[in-house]
Amino acid sequence: MTAKSRTTSALVPELAVFDWRGSLAFYCDLIGFSIRYAREDEGFAYLELGSAKLMIDQVDLGRDFHESERLRRPLGAGLNLQLSVPDVAAVHARVLAAGLPLVLPLEERWYRRAADEVGQQQFVVADPDGYLVRPIQVVGTRPSRT
């Protein structure tokens, strides 16, 4: 194993979840992640989608970093995970086909940066534990209008 293959990403969120299998189905089947590795006996999985990384960990199974008796749904209050996906329309269609309610419908939105704006198609859906996930696909850039 080379040093480069051991390098980890700068930030990999780990979400505490109440239903590991349900979360795997949401993140893999609907959003499009794949499992890099998993420890089923611990209710843990390391997921990847392009360069995005995410860990999910079953509450009260294996080692916990939190006081599980204090956890209540919805989890992740104040957290919005923006995730770049190759085809936001396809992810949107899978989420709708699964019957999940949207927190924010599919939209095109332009965000001002320093000298320009970046446009993206996006929507927001809550995962089974209430974490907000915002799949996005960049549609372009344009000069800032201000």
Task: Let me know if residue 69 belongs to a domain.
Answer: no
Task: Let me know if residue 108 belongs to a domain.
Answer: yes
What pLDDT was estimated at residue 3? 47
Question: What pTM was computed for the model?
Answer: 0.87
CB 137 within 8 A of CB 90: no
Domain count within the chain: 1
Per-run averaged pLDDT (10 residues), the chain, 146 residues: 58 93 98 97 95 92 60 81 97 98 97 93 96 97 85
CA distance linking residue 104 with residue 89, whole number of Å:
14
Task: Let me know if residue 111 belongs to a domain.
Answer: yes
Say which CATH number the domain at 125 has: 3.10.180.10
Phi, psi angle pair for 13, to nearest 5°: -65, 145
Task: Let me know if residue 132 belongs to a domain.
Answer: yes
Q: Helix or strand or coil: residue 15?
A: strand
What pLDDT was estimated at residue 69? 59
Task: Let me know if residue 1 belongs to a domain.
Answer: no
Task: Let me know if residue 37 belongs to a domain.
Answer: yes
**What is the DSSP annotation of 91-137?**
HHHHHHHTTPPEEEEEEEEEEE-SSEEEEEEEEEEE-TTS-EEEEEE
Task: Let me know if residue 127 belongs to a domain.
Answer: yes
Structural domain harbouring 136:
10-64+75-143
What pLDDT was estimated at residue 74? 78
Task: Let me know if residue 136 belongs to a domain.
Answer: yes
Predicted confidence (pLDDT) per residue in 114-127, tens digit: 889 999 999 999 99
CA distance linking residue 134 with residue 146, whole number of Å:
26
